[in-house]
Amino acid sequence: MLIHAFDVAFYVAAVVAIPAATLYLCYLVGKMARAKGHPFVIGFWVSFFLTPLIGYLIVYLLAEAKTRGPLKCPVCDVPVVVNQPFCSACGIQFEPDR
């Protein structure tokens, strides 16, 4: 039994191109999730396990993630840098998990 060129091309497309296209579409859904403020990996894996179309619909329907405003000192209400150990205005020490 001879293998024709068409058969080889079909198998290459089925084995290489379709999974590559699926991974690329999952990547795009992950980027869309990140643009909406959600983790990239959530969008990627949801679309990977539930097909990219369903993953896209889920991420599309998700609400925008709420972003936190700037950190403020609890005593004097002055904006502070994220990793700053104390307030530059009043000198209060911050907790390490902040």
pTM beyond 0.95: the answer is no
pLDDT of residue 80: 80
Query: What radius of gyration do the chain's Cα atoms show?
Result: 24
Tens digit of pLDDT for each residue in 46-93?
A: 999 999 999 999 988 887 776 666 778 888 888 887 777 888 888 888
- What residue spans define the domains of the chain? 5-61, 68-98
Q: Percent of the chain having pLDDT more than 70? A: 88
- In this structure, how many other beta carbons lie within 10 angstroms of the beta carbon of residue 41? 12
- In this structure, how many other beta carbons lie within 10 angstroms of the beta carbon of residue 47? 27
User: In the block, which residue shows the tokens 């679309």?
Assistant: 47
User: In the block, which residue shows the tokens 């991974």?
Assistant: 23
